[in-house]
Structure 1
């Protein structure tokens, strides 16, 4: 990786959640993963739904990775550093990644099963 310095003046991030990251600088490898069950139920009692093995979406094989893109050795940066003045970011969620810098390899996986259990209409 062609490494550079990152100069960051001001960053404001409101929220980072569910397997996500905010990074300043170079990174060799990142694997962001998330599994989530979102249950909406019209009831006064809570039922435990956190058994990922019960839902096929969490058991499926991922599609094969795309081929690596090789950049020939004549690639060069025109500036010796990355300069960032101001960033306002509301949120990063569900295996998301925000990075100021370079990365060699990244894998991301987000799986969500949304379940709605609604009372019968009268």
Structure 2
């Protein structure tokens, strides 16, 4: 992995949550996961047997990996060994995402969210 020096003068990040990363500098591997099951009900009611992610195929089916069927040639000319950031302002980094100033080898990120709304019928 090509290493460079990250120089950050000012970084303001309000929130980093839910398997997310804010990193200044180099990293070899990042593996991020975030499984969420959210049930929103109009009436407050809990049955006691809820919340098993295995009950929903969304959380167990394989994520398709795109296949690149062509040769790609990349040439980089980094005239400076530094990555310079004067100012960055971020409100939020969430749901298996990365705010990274630096070099990264491999990022493996996954977020699976199942949101259920149950409303009363009238």
TM-score (norm 2): 0.87
CA distance in 1, matches of 2:102, 2:26: 5
Q: Which residue of 2 aligns with 1:39?
A: 39
CA distance in 1, matches of 2:12, 2:47: 37
Please state how far the C-alpha of 1:104 moved relative to its aligned partner.
1.1
Pairing of 1:1-122 with structure 2 (within 5 A): 1-48=1-48, 49-64=50-65, 66-67=67-68, 75-121=76-122
Please state how far the C-alpha of 1:46 moved relative to its aligned partner.
3.8
Aligned-residue CA RMSD in angstroms?
1.8
CA distance in 2, matches of 1:63, 1:108: 13
**CA separation of 1:81/1:47 partners in 2, compared to 1, >3 Å: closer, same or farther?**
farther
Gaps of 5+ in 2: none
Alignment: residue pair count = 119
Please state how far the C-alpha of 1:70 moved relative to its aligned partner.
6.4
Contact 1:6 1:101 in 2 (8 A): yes
TM-score (norm 1): 0.87
**CA separation of 1:31/1:65 partners in 2, compared to 1, >3 Å: closer, same or farther?**
farther
Gaps of 5+ in 1: none
